[in-house]
Structure 1
Amino acid sequence: MALFREGVILMCAWVLWSQTLQTATQRVAWSVPQAFNSKEICDERLAVTLDGLKASGWTTVGNKGAGSAIAPKSGNLMNLVCLPDTVDPRQPKQ
């Protein structure tokens, strides 16, 4: 999406964030698998990712823009969310 402001074009990207919780260690890891030019494309990629996890035996839930998956044996949890590139969902570092 492009925003026009005083003759300048500002590009807005959408980022597919992935948060993984390893249940055995309670370790949380964040990653950014991909970024996209529109929210619609990000949402589509998120849905494809959840479908792939479900086909691999994960339990999945989700709707447009966000979803979660639980691994069948380990119980590890993966949360996926599409956010504008100006938003960082990670907690502040201490």
Structure 2
Amino acid sequence: MKLQQLRYIWEVSRHDLNVSATAQSLYTSQPGISKQIRLLEDELGVEIFSRSGKHLTHVTTAGAEVLEIAGQILGKVESIKQLAQEYSSPNKGSLSIATTH
């Protein structure tokens, strides 16, 4: 399981299951996203999205739970990135100086 796969399923769900729109927003290809979703589903042994032909029709029950956890994981990843940025840029921030006379 890769973070990129989690990001793909998360973004597909945010784009109303439209893989083409998701690919465009992520600057990648639709077949690449579809393949990564399939690989994740194969690894997990569950379908995240139900399909009708080549189209995604809805999120499965298992998929809804996977998406909830994926959202939490992606949120934690962003928190880690922000934390790392704070520590790598020690000159940023605010300085308050108070004096008394």
| Higher percent of residues as strand | 1
The verdict on a shared fold, with TM-score over 0.5 as the criterion, is: no
TM tier relative to shorter chain: under 0.3
More helix by proportion, 1 or 2? 2
TM-score, normalization by structure 2: 0.27
- Which of the two has higher C-alpha Rg? 2
TM-score of the two chains, using structure 1 as the length reference: 0.28
Q: Which has the higher contact order (CA 8 A, sep 6+)?
A: 1
